[in-house]
Structure 1
């Protein structure tokens, strides 16, 4: 058995049918208006004519005399026929005072009861209007015939007398077709031209809409819209679309949540939504952007922007957003493992160099130098350990500083601990955040200082930790080239490291530093020292552990 599916009408076909129906309705309305105007004109013009003719007849002496004759039809027939021929009306009827037809141009009407358009006609009042006469619609005028006043000798004195009869003059009402032909000699031409123009306009409109919808039919457009909704709101990533005027044309739930946008953000511009700074630069950029790191109200966002063009015209852009805040936390934890690995590698490299030196001194028989060298190493290590542990009482941070000292030494950078450093034991969670901030700032300082160190001007970095009852300030200075003023804020907003200021974007270490400081009620900033180099200053609120806590 073969199944036949009914073909659905195309969009162009539906529009054509709809427009054709509108044209037909307009044509019918125009025709109705024309008919109404024609009827009004006919009633006005012909009504006056038949009324004037009826009044003329009612005042005719022959008619007045003939009404009272024994055979009025024979007396009045010549008058009525002559008047009918000269005036071109359809019918003339004369009735006596009782309403019985006594003479008429239609012989079948003689002897019948005259149909009155108004009851007051029987009392001597005139009337005009549409009336059915012999099953035909006629425009008639009914005028009373009044006798002239007489004395006892039947002498005329010119005064009106009694109601002795009624004269009715009728004009056949034209048919609808006759009215249409009479409305305007060019009406059919006008209607035909309007119909052709309507059909042509409908066809052109259908073609234009077909092009604008890329040849898609309504059901296909509906399917695409449904798929788009399912795709956008099923994505784990945020999606934001902007038009060329930077107005939001589309945003899914994830994008609205990540950017902290209001529910009715569609149709509003970036300025109206309060989006400024680095986020606005990425969303409104001129070029495509890949993996741009942006901070937005405590979140680390990775954004990819792509321009949308068609036929060489810009339609706007689409930007996807990923929340890397949790991933950044994982990177921080992995960073601690990497730091440990780097520390072990640096210490291995340092110990290997020291062992090679000791081995060489033994091989050449300089045993006293071996003892002296080992003593110097021991005193340096004890001095560093004593300096760090005396000023930094939190073991986590002290161990981190010691580890970074070995890494700095491998890079030929001297790590100093400021004499103003004072840090007590911290809560483990707070210690982890402080370690992340210190580690990121020290790593950036080592990178910057290592680039500018020379034999005459050794590279160095200085770590200063100052704590009071409610806050902690972390200052990391270096002997590097410093940070240019225009990058003083961008270095955090972009997620740059210190090294990235010269080489490009790298990681989100400083972005995480700012995020942690703000979460702890503080902030981070960078300044340039007068003698050269940069100083990163991070502040956050802290709480001391009770005495005796381990």
Structure 2
């Protein structure tokens, strides 16, 4: 509770208490009414049974045949009255004259109740304000053969019935109090659980939080997935996450994510690169705990596709710059050598020395510019030759390398595909004394054919398949995106990629030359 406002749990608890109190009060009232009704019904049955039994007793009929029935009937009716708990038993003549009564002073006086139906031979009960106060009474005829010779009236006052109901009231109230206490305890436990689940927030705070939560989820430019404990099902998936991961509407399970994200698990992840068929994603994941209890994990995704493409181009430019720097350094050395040879008068040797490397380099340049129609790809190949030379690796562009364009790939996609394959091959050679890389790029039977072989140990089919997913690398200082990027380009155009270990390590790519 904050700012004087009751939390949702507190409001719920108070409302439940009020409702429970009203229910208990109504229950007590209904119980009292039901108990009174049951007592009235039981009294009617009791007084009827007593009156009928007394009326049918032979001693009662015999006493009425005497001139003065009272001395014989009064002791009997009083014993029966005390034994049954009735308030009065009156035996009377058909003219209402009393032969017996609880109050002996009223013997001989006229009975004040209704007797017409009894005189007609019926037994009935009624509520009547008699000489002892309002009572439930039963009246039945006394027969001598077919002749009605008298009447019996037996009853219990309403005051006594009220006392009986009052005697049960403590029990009713006790049971009700116990029920109220148990219900209140249950409500308290429910309130405490609700307080934990709502973090003690008030309803307006919960509403505001939900509105802000919903607004943030739909407006943020990062993909967000919140997984339940165990990391199997996502409780929250925002619009950007569905767009970046190509997820359909509805619930999202871990198995619906790209393969590399499925295998990531639910632990802590920091700035991990994942490659899908269409994007390069930067992924972070944090576990969430509340009160020492695991409440799930939060996965955030940022699209780094364009950034990685720019970084790839930057790496290429950096490589070109390093090659130019090395060439400038080497050219300076050669120039000093040529100048010294001229100063020594060795003119012919100076010319031969100066033009020997130039002829070899120019021949390669002329061949690539003639056979490779895309200047960016030709420049990439020339740069990689120089880069490999710096590392002591022989990089050969095969004689059958020839293509008029990079179609169906764009120039950028062709540079990404070929550049990464060559970089992986250069790294795979290990820089040993006999290290080489051989590159072939050509159009073959309406296919774009790329083959990069090297002197390295090669990769098994299983290892190569892992490299197609995300971030697999045999080098600790790499994120392993090279082959994943290659696979992304190949998959985008419906191509094929494979690896060989024998007779030499090689990666082969075939992409159909058709429009997307």
Return the offset for 1:35.
Answer: 4.2
Q: CA deviation at 1:474?
A: 0.9
2:232 is the alignment partner of 1:242: no
* Residue 489 of structure 1: aligned partner: 465
Residue 17 of structure 1, aligned match among 9, 14, 18: 14
User: Which residue of the other structure, out of 203, 214, 228, is the alignment partner of 1:229?
Assistant: 214
- Check 1:15–1:176 CA distance in 2 against 1; reply closer, same or farther (3 A cut): farther
The structure 2 residue matched to 1:131, chosen from 111, 127, 134, is 127
1:488 partner SS: helix
1:537 aligns with 2:505: no
Matched, 1:294 2:270: no
Residues 99-114 of structure 1: pairs in structure 2 closer than 5 A: 103=98, 110=110, 114=114
The residue matched to 2:127 in structure 1 has which SS?
Answer: strand
> Is the alpha carbon distance of 1:485 and 1:402 closer, same or farther for their aligned partners in structure 2, counting shifts above 3 Å?
same
Q: For the residues of structure 2 that align with 1:445 and 1:394, how far apart are their CA atoms?
A: 22
**Which of 227, 236, 254 is 1:270 aligned to?**
254
Corresponding residue of 1:511: 484
Q: Distance in 1 between matches of 2:451 and 2:202?
A: 65
Deviation, structure 1 residue 292:
1.1
CA distance in 2, matches of 1:505, 1:335: 14
Partners of 2:491 and 2:279 in 1: CA distance: 11
Alpha-carbon distance between aligned partners in 2 of 1:177 and 1:166, rounded to the nearest angstrom: 29
How far apart are the structure 1 equivalents of 2:284 and 2:366? Answer: 49
Cα distance in 2 between the residues matched to 1:66 and 1:102? 15
Pairing partner for 2:501 from 528, 532, 545:
528
- 2:244 maps to which of 258, 270, 277: 258
Q: Which of 428, 431, 437 in structure 2 is aligned with 1:452?
A: 431
Residues 312-336 of structure 1, C-alpha deviations (whole Å, 9 max, x = no match): 4433321101122233344455455
Distance 1:13 1:403, change over 3 A: closer
Q: Secondary structure at the match of 2:21?
A: helix
**Distance of 2:358 and 2:381 partners within structure 1:** 18
Q: Distance in 1 between the 2:219 and 2:71 partners?
A: 97
CA distance in 2, matches of 1:81, 1:356: 155
Kindly provide the CA deviation profile for residues 143-189 of structure 1, in whole angstroms up to 9, marking residues without a partner as x: 2344x3xxxxxxxxxxx214576543222345567425237x75555
Task: Output the CA distance in 1 between the equivalents of 2:135 and 2:329.
Answer: 124
Q: For 1:56 and 1:516, locate their aligned partners in 2 and report how far apart those are by CA, in whole Å.
A: 108
Partners of 1:35 and 1:176 within 8 A in 2: no
Return the match for 1:181 from 145, 167, 177. Answer: 167
1:434 paired residue among 389, 410, 414: 414
Task: Classify 1:31/1:80 alpha carbon distance in 2 versus 1 (closer, same or farther; 3 Å).
Answer: farther
Match of 2:157 in 1: 172
Q: What is the CA deviation profile of residues 351-384 of structure 1, one whole-angstrom value per residue up to 9, with x for unaligned ones? A: 3343333233334432111111233224313432
Partners of 2:398 and 2:409 lie apart in 1 by 25
Matched, 1:373 2:373: no
Question: Per the alignment, do residues 538 and 360 of structure 1 end up closer, same or farther by CA in structure 2, a change over 3 Å counting?
Answer: farther
Query: Following TM superposition, by how much is the alpha carbon of 1:464 offset from its aligned partner in structure 2, in angstroms?
Result: 0.9
Cα drift, residue 290 of structure 1: 1.1
Partners of 1:93 and 1:101 within 8 A in 2: no
TM-score (norm 2): 0.80
What is the alpha-carbon root mean square deviation over aligned residues? 4.2
Aligned partner of 1:55 in structure 2 is 52
Aligned length, in residue pairs: 503
Q: Which residue of 2 aligns with 1:306?
A: 286
Cα offset for 1:416? 0.8
Higher RCO (C-alpha under 8 Å, 6+ residues apart): 2
- Which residue number in structure 2 is paired with residue 320 of structure 1? 300
For the Cα contact (< 8 Å) 2:231–2:266, is it kept in 1? no
In structure 2, runs of 5+ residues without a counterpart are none
Q: Is the 8 A contact 1:452 1:479 kept in 2?
A: no
CA contact (8 A) 1:181 1:187 kept: no
CA distance in 2, matches of 1:297, 1:95: 109
Which range is displaced more, 197-206 or 323-332?
A: 197-206
1: distance between equivalents of 2:507 and 2:7? 67
Tell me, yes or no, if the aligned pair for 2:266 and 2:297 is still in contact at 8 Å: no
Are the counterparts in 2 of residues 94 and 101 from structure 1 also a CA contact under 8 Å?
no
Cα deviations across residues 425-460 of structure 1 (Å, max 9, x unaligned)?
3459634322321122223333444x4232xx2x32
